[in-house]
Amino acid sequence: MEIKVVRQIMEWNEDCHKELQKILNDNNVLMLNVMGSPGAGKTSFIINLIKLLREENLNVGVIEGDIAGKVDAEKIAAMDIPVVQLNTDGACHIEAMSIKNIIPEFNLKHIDVLIVENIGNLVCPAEFDIGEHLKIALLSVPEGDDKVEKYPLMFTRADALLITKYDMKEYFNFNQDKVIQEAKSMNKDINIFKINSMKGEGMQEFFDWLKKHINHK
Amino acid sequence: MEIKVVRQIMEWNEDCHKELQKILNDNNVLMLNVMGSPGAGKTSFIINLIKLLREENLNVGVIEGDIAGKVDAEKIAAMDIPVVQLNTDGACHIEAMSIKNIIPEFNLKHIDVLIVENIGNLVCPAEFDIGEHLKIALLSVPEGDDKVEKYPLMFTRADALLITKYDMKEYFNFNQDKVIQEAKSMNKDINIFKINSMKGEGMQEFFDWLKKHINHK
C-alpha cells in the first residue's frame, strides 16, 4: 500500500517535470536545481552566480525553497531580481507541481536562467525532478569527505558537484581526492568545481561550463 | 489520499514508539536520538560521549543510521561497542519500527544508554519519534546561524541543542546569541551546549546534564 502511493507520487511528479521542461524549452529558459545540506552555501552561491549572469546581460529569476521563513528570498530581492519564496510548510523537498504553480509568477520571455534553491537536505531533493535542466549539488568542506559515499543518490544524479567553502580546507581534515574519486565512480559524467562562495573564488570556471547550456535571448 | 496515508504512518509510528519506550523503561535503558545535518559532527560527538560513559562504567549500545554504507558503524565497532548498522536504503529518516526490529540484537540488561545516530538531515528525522527519551539536535557553526529559523521543527522538538565545531566560530560569521534566542523562543525548555567534538571540549557540561537522565544499573 505504502509503496504504491509513493510510486503514484513519483509518476505524477515525472509527468509534471516533463510538462515544465516543455514550457521552459518553449521559452528558452534554463532551469537549475540547486541542492545541498543546510549551510552548504546555496544562497551565497546563487548570489555570486546572479552577479556573473548580470555581467553577461543574462536575465535571472529565482525560486527560494524553504520549510519556513523568507530569509533567503529577501537576500535575492535586495538584488532587484524577480524571486518567489516557496514555503514547503514542513516538507523536506520541492516537487514539480509546486514549481508549476509558481511559474506563472515569472515573465519567462524575459528570463534566461531560472534558479531554484531546493530545501537544505542531501537526501530527499535528489529523488524529485522539478523541471530542471541541470542538477547542481553542493558539498561544503566542513561537512566532511565521507558524504558522497553516505548520500550516493545526490551525487549520482547531479550534473555538477560544487565543493564549497573550499578556503576552509586547511582547518578540516578534508580529502578532496577521495570525494572526487567517489563521485566520479558513481557518476562518470559529473563536473566538479571547487568554489568559495564568500569570496566568489572558483565561480568563473563553473560559469564557463554553465554558459554552454544557456540560450542567450 | 496522500494525507490519509501519511497520518496512518504517523499513528503506526507513534504506537511503535510507545511500545519501544516500554521495553526500554522495563530494562532501565535510556535512548538518545542524535540528529543533525550531514557533517554536523554526530559520529564524533557519539565517540566522545562513549568515552565519558565508559569512564563512569556505564554500558553503551549504538545504532548507526545511514542511507548506505557502514563508515560510521565501523568507527564505533573499533571501540569495541555493540553496534548495529541500520541502512535505510534511500529513506531520509529512521522510523520506530526499524528500531523495534533491531532491539533484539542488543542485550538490554547490560546496556545503560542506547544511542541512535539518525540520518544526516535537519528535516524529516524531527517528525518521527523512534522510542527515544531524549532528542539531541546538533547544529554546526559552519552551517550558519540562520538554521534554527529555517528548520524550526528540529529545534522545537529537541531536548538539547549542541552547537558543534564551536572552535570554528572565528572563521564563520556565526551569531550564537541569535541561535540561542531563536531556539529558546520556540522551545523554552531546550538545553543548549557549545562543543568541539574533535577535541572533546564542552562535552563535560553536556554530560553533567545527561547523567541526570541515566539510571545506573
With beta carbons less than 8 A apart as the criterion, state whether B125 and B94 touch.
yes
Classify the C-alpha dihedral A107-A108-A114-A117 as positive or negative. positive
**Interval B147-195: pLDDT, tens:** 999 999 999 999 999 999 999 988 998 999 999 999 999 999 999 999 9
Let me know if domain B2-211 sits in CATH 3.40.50.880.
no
Give me the residue from A1, A119, A147 closest to B38, CB to CB. A147
pLDDT band per the 50, 70, 90 thresholds, residue A6: low
With beta carbons less than 8 A apart as the criterion, state whether A117 and A87 touch.
no
pLDDT band per the 50, 70, 90 thresholds, residue A110: very high
Query: Cβ B38–A165 below 8 Å, yes or no?
Result: no
A vs B: CB pairs below 8 A: 118
| Domain residue spans of chain B | 2-211
Chain A residues in contact with B5 (beta carbon < 8 A): 1-2, 5
What size, in residues, is chain B? 217
Query: Cβ B37–A92 below 8 Å, yes or no?
Result: no
Chain A residues in contact with B121 (beta carbon < 8 A): 92, 121-124
State whether ipTM is beyond 0.90. no
Q: What is the mean pLDDT of residues B92-104?
A: 94
Report pLDDT for B197.
79
**Interval B1-45: pLDDT, tens:** 344 555 677 888 999 999 999 999 999 999 999 999 999 999 999
- Residue listed under C-alpha cell 546563487: A46
CA distance B162 to B123: 16
- Nearest chain B residue to A152 by CA distance is B68
Numbered residues of chain B with Cβ closer than 8 Å to any chain A Cβ: 1-2, 5, 9, 37-39, 66-69, 71, 90, 92, 119-124, 127, 140, 142-144, 146-147, 149-153, 165, 168, 171
- Residue listed under C-alpha cell 532551469: A31
